[in-house]
Amino acid sequence: MSIVNVNVAGGSYPIHIAPNILQQLATSVPENASSIVLITNSTVMPLYGDVAKKSLAVCAKPLHVLELHDGEAFKTQETLNTIYTFLLSKKVDRKAIIVALGGGVIGDISGYAAATYMRGVRFIQVPTTLLAQVDSSVGGKTAVNHPLGKNMIGAFYQPIAVDIDVNVLKTLPPREISAGLAEVIKYGMILDADFFTWCEENVEKLKALDAEAISYAIHRSCELKAYVVGEDEKETGLRAILNLGHTFGHAIETALGYGEWLHGEAVGCGMVQAAELSAQTLGLPREDVERIRNLVKAIGCPTQAPNLGTNKWIELMQIDKKAEGGKIKFVLLPKIGEAIVRTVPSEDLGIALSKTVKA
């Protein structure tokens, strides 16, 4: 087992990374837990529900299981209210532990429920998609979507542990692996040029879920995210760089409808768009833009965005959480391995869109 520690004011906690960690979930549950609430979805439940329940049963605490619908389309206030109703009907108190077993949607919505139910109960992230393992389960961002914007209603609320079982990735479809790898290569783009090069050299192993390669990729991604979150828990500065590609990507998801493109697919495409904008605004070398485009393509993510119309693009990006006073801020790359956040001239944005949007 490898361990990455996250150290933040909101609560320090370990990320455990190992095969078969689902069989050891009880070790992350505090002894003073009054009960355990396992929240999962209709896709994960048939695959890993029994294993998780058997593992948590070792705690000898009352165990309640809530199975939700699967998909980004259900990351809503309506689903959140379903969770509240379940918790209240089971008389769950403030010493309970919520265990989020699933991908980013389950982790985000369960975490937000944990943050707000009785003003906060403890929760554990057990991410089952690659994207959730390397990104959304780490750092305490919890949220639900609104029809006008993704993740616009939420809270910063840290888990007490993140348990990552690398073996669960074997049941993911290739499209989900591609989506997760987009977030992996993001860390190289913004923080670690050597890791980006390693991803280029090992892309086929990563897509094939080679045990050694994927374990290292998860560990290094979590290390890099833990560093950023430790420096800036609530995204007042440095943490914003983790949103590389997300300003474009969230616009795609919102415009097309949540779930049409996977989050990682939209982010992957958005990173290509951010690279083009970086070339236009900061002079990122064309060679680096093409390296980014080629790697995004190699992992299996789209590199051309849907044609939403310039006005629609701008309208959607103005809703982005980094926007201030209607001005859109973008994460840009002076070079691979380094990122900054800034506004850009509208003509530069127009040129970048023209190069990355389908005709």
- Burial (CB < 10 A; 0-12, 13-18, 19+), residue 204, is exposed
Quote the DSSP letter at residue 45.
I
> 37, 181 in Cβ contact below 8 A?
no
What was the pLDDT predicted at 149? 86
pLDDT tens string 229-249: 999 998 889 999 999 999 999
Instruction: Provide the residue type at 110 as one letter.
Output: S
Distance (Å, whole) CA 344 – CA 50: 51
Tell me the catalytic residues: 119, 141, 183, 225, 235, 239, 243, 246, 250, 263
Q: What is the dihedral of CA 104, 106, 107, 112, to 10 degrees?
A: 120
DSSP helix/strand/coil, 214: helix
Find the helix or strand (DSSP H, E) in which 162 lies: strand 161-165
Structure tokens at 230: 């430790």
CB 241 within 8 A of CB 189: no
pTM of model > 0.85: yes
CA distance 122 to 211: 31
Q: What's the Cα-to-Cα distance from 116 to each of 140, 157, 194, rounded to whole Å?
A: 13, 9, 40
Per-residue pLDDT of the chain (359 residues; tens, 9 = 90+): 999 999 998 789 999 999 999 999 999 999 999 999 999 999 999 999 999 999 999 999 999 999 999 999 999 999 999 999 999 999 999 999 999 999 999 999 999 999 999 999 999 999 999 999 999 999 999 999 999 888 889 999 999 999 999 999 999 999 999 999 999 999 999 999 999 999 999 999 999 999 999 999 999 999 999 999 999 998 889 999 999 999 999 999 999 988 899 999 999 999 999 999 999 999 999 999 999 999 999 999 999 999 999 899 999 998 877 777 778 999 999 999 999 999 999 899 999 999 999 87
Backbone angles phi, psi at 113, to 5 degrees: -60, -45
Tokens of 69: 């619908």
Domains of the chain in start order, with CATH, are: 2-171 (3.40.50.1970), 174-356 (1.20.1090.10)
User: Reduced to 3 states, what is the DSSP secondary structure of residue 149?
Assistant: strand
Residue 264 parent element (H or E) = helix 263-282
> What is the side-by-side order of every strand in the sheet holding 13-18?
2-6, 13-18, 161-165, 122-127, 97-102, 36-41, 63-68
Residue 337, SS3 per DSSP: coil
177, two tokens? 């692996």
3-class SS of residue 18: strand
Q: How far apart are the first and last CA of the chain?
A: 48
In 3-state terms the chain splits into helix, strand, coil percentages (rounded to 5) of: 55, 20, 30
Residue 150: the pLDDT is: 86
What are the two backbone dihedrals, phi and then psi, of residue 14, each rounded to the nearest 5 degrees? -95, 150
What is the number of alpha carbons within 13 Å of residue 72 lying toward its C-beta? Answer: 19
Question: Rounded distance, CA 196 to CA 184, Å?
Answer: 9
Residues contacting residue 226 through CB under 8 Å, at least 6 positions apart: 4, 5, 6, 7, 15, 138, 139
256 within 8 A of 150, measured Cβ to Cβ: no
Q: What is the DSSP string of 173-189?
A: -HHHHHHHHHHHHHHHH
